[in-house]
Amino acid sequence: MSQLRQDPTTKEWVIIATERSQRPHNFVRPDAALEKPPYKEECPFCQGNEFLTPHESLAYRHGGPADSAGWWVRVVPNRFPALSSDGSLRREEMGFFRMMDGVGAHEVVVESPIHNEILPLMNEGQVEEILLAYRERYLALREDHRIKLIIIFKNHGQAPGHRWSTAIPRSWGPWSSHPESEGGWTRLPATTMTMEAAFTATPFRRSSSSARGS
């Protein structure tokens, strides 16, 4: 399990997740990362390789059982999570230092079943489906009363090739008690407020262009 440690000077909490150093793509050769066929046998995010991931949290699929092929967007827990749902929110103090368990979650939103399909070249319907998956998981994860903030971000880079986004709900908010913060508290970032408003207040239905969802 990861650990949170508070920076004594800024009061910011920092995630210490040593298990993440074991991620396989840490050892991918740069030239291997450049190979991007539509399917890779060893890629856990490619369709047909569902057995290589933990059980899915969500999938938009054409019928069939969970953790099988036939999906177009799939969400799974990260095998090497920065935060996990186990643990306690109790803070421990060791002299000058404060720490607590890294409580939260760490999910991967696999944006396509095809290894080399990238967001800028996807059709609008597929992009819409990815955003719907963001929203659905956001609403589900915020049901956990321990969660104070959910961060969703788009991963981009050469390794490991398959495109995905990340959702990290965490047990501590964006605020801090840094003396330079307004009134002792940092304002909620505008992007966080926008996401909360968009995902919770907007009536939702799939557009007609998103035919894959029917």
Residues in 103-122 that interact with Zn ion by CB under 5 A: 115
Number of Cα atoms under 13 Å in the Cβ half of residue 125: 10
CA 199, 201, 60, 107 dihedral sign is positive
Pull the structure tokens for residue 181. Answer: 């913060």
Max Cα-Cα span within the chain: 60
Pull the structure tokens for residue 148. 């104070």
Q: Which is nearer to Zn ion, 41 or 93 (CB)?
A: 41
When the beta carbons of 68 and 192 are compared against Zn ion, the nearer one is: 68
Number of residues that bind Zn ion (CB under 5 A): 6
Interface pick for Zn ion out of 61, 74, 106, 162 (rule CB under 5 A): 162
CA distances to 60, 88, 150, 174, 205 from 11, rounded to whole Å, are 41, 20, 20, 11, 42
Contacting residue, 4, 46, 100, 103, with Zn ion by CB under 5 A: 46
Q: Nearer to Zn ion by C-beta: 117 or 136?
A: 117
Choose, by CB under 5 A, the member of 17, 43, 99, 131 that binds Zn ion: 43
Q: Of the two residues 29 and 205, which places its CB atom closer to Zn ion in the complex?
A: 29
Residues that bind Zn ion (CB under 5 A): 40, 43, 45-46, 115, 162
